[in-house]
Amino acid sequence: MRPLLKLWIFIGVAVVLVAIVAGVGFIPVTKVEPYDCVKTEQYDCIKVRQVPCTKTETYPYYEQVPYPANEEKDLTYHAWGFNTYESWWDYDIWLSYWLRNTDDRGGYFKITFKCSLDGVWYSKSQTKWISSGDYAEYEVEFSRNRGQTWDYEYPTVTPPTNTVTVIKYRSEKRTGVREVEATCDEAYETTCWREVSATCYRSKTGWLLWEPWR
């Protein structure tokens, strides 16, 4: 062995021995230590989404409802043959009219005649009972002096009335139910993510200082 190599080996051994004798030693040591941290984790969750649907709703409406009611109704009739003439022997004015009861029951029918003498209007009425299907003649006289001007109006008929039951209708409010298109909430399962507090671990390398036995 060369003398120079031997010298270096000797020096190295000497340094180690000196360190041991002096009580100085370093050994690398790796250890795991915990620390607080935040982690992201996955979990099953339920969310809500909007979907088309059909809902039931109430709505107001009005309905025509029949109901019985009593009312006074005129008996039906047919009038004809209105006639006027001046009496040649005393100058009086005569008015006449015919009337038929076309209803299914009898009653008292009234006819009112009007006549004007020198511009002054007078009226007279006649009332007669007419059975169903029968007819009657009405005739009245207005006294007049010779030379008086006269005029007339068409007679008016006042038929008897009868109480009858008729069906009438009134509007009543109702509440209906119908289905309408709408948007509803729907729950569904999915995957969610969240941050949670956790304990993490990390490796740490240190030097172990040791002393020799004394």
CA distance 114 to 171: 45
What pLDDT score does 26 carry? 58
Q: In terms of Cα–Cα distance, which of 50, 158, 162 is closest to 111?
A: 158
Amino acid identity of 81? Answer: G
Buried-state track 149-179, b at ≥16 Cβ within 10 A, e below 16? ebeeeebeeebbeeeeeeeeeeeeeeeeeee
Give the single-character DSSP code of 8.
H
**Residue-level length of the chain:** 214
What pLDDT score does 101 carry? 98
The pair of structure tokens assigned to 198 is 């956790």
Neighbours of 55 (CB within 10 A): 11
Q: What is the pLDDT along the chain (214 residues), one digit of tens a residue?
A: 556 556 666 666 565 555 555 555 557 778 888 888 898 989 899 999 999 999 999 999 999 999 999 999 999 999 999 999 999 889 999 999 999 999 999 999 999 999 999 999 999 999 999 999 999 999 999 999 998 999 999 999 999 999 988 899 999 999 999 999 999 999 999 999 888 898 888 887 776 655 554 4
Neighbours of 91 (CB within 10 A): 14
What pLDDT score does 61 carry? 93
What pLDDT score does 35 carry? 86
DSSP notation for 16-37: HHHHHHHT--EEEEEEEEEEEE
Q: Is residue 93 packed enough to be buried (19+ CB in 10 Å), middle (13-18) or exposed (0-12)? A: buried
What's this model's pTM, rounded to 2 decimal places?
0.51
What pLDDT score does 213 carry? 47
76-159 in CATH: which number? 2.60.40.10
